[in-house]
Amino acid sequence: MKPLTLLCAVLLATPVFAEDPAAKVVDLKAPQAIELVKKEAAAAKADPKKAPLTVLDVRTPEEYAKGHLAGAKNVDFHDDAFKDMIAKLDKSQPYLVHCAAGGRSAKARDLMKALGFQNIFHLEGGMTAWQKAGGPVVEAGDAPAKP
């Protein structure tokens, strides 16, 4: 293949993207980073002997009552006032967000990021993965802690 033909083939095969003025390069070490953490890392981050971290359980109160992480604050994702409750939290504090499997908490962490929260940790696989990995839970009968 001749060099000019090769160059034309490469140029035609190369996708061209228009620059999106709203697109930004995300620096994962910058303050608004979201970190996906597994059970072991979540347990270490939620250690009360270390820096304060608020654990947000975004499941329903019924799910929360069946078992939750010690000290977790229950903020029901399906509550009509969810966004308002989250918006009132201190955006400079670190939060570990989780639900049952990761769907609701992924939406919650995205909302938190949009609201300007600076340190968000997302428990990979939620309570299901936490319990499957042998993570400790507080059993039913405890009233949900509110943020």
The answer to whether position 3 is within a domain reads: no
CATH of the domain at 118: 3.40.250.10
Percent of the chain clearing pLDDT 90 (strictly above): 44
For 14-38, write each residue's pLDDT tens digit: 232 233 333 223 233 333 344 556 6
The answer to whether position 45 is within a domain reads: yes
Q: What is the predicted pLDDT for the residue at 130? A: 87
Q: How many CB atoms lie within 10 A of CB 128?
A: 14
Q: Please list the active-site residues.
A: 99
The answer to whether position 15 is within a domain reads: no
Model confidence at 68, pLDDT cuts 50, 70, 90, reads: very high
Tokens of 58: 């975004």
The answer to whether position 46 is within a domain reads: yes
How many domains does the chain fold into?
Answer: 1
The answer to whether position 36 is within a domain reads: yes
- Side by side, the strands of the sheet bearing 119-123 are 34-37, 119-123, 94-98, 54-57, 73-74
- 0.75 exceeded by the pTM? no
Please state, in angstroms and rounded to a whole number, the distance separating the CA atoms of residues 135 and 56.
Answer: 16
Print the domain residue range for 57: 31-132
The answer to whether position 94 is within a domain reads: yes
The answer to whether position 80 is within a domain reads: yes
The answer to whether position 64 is within a domain reads: yes
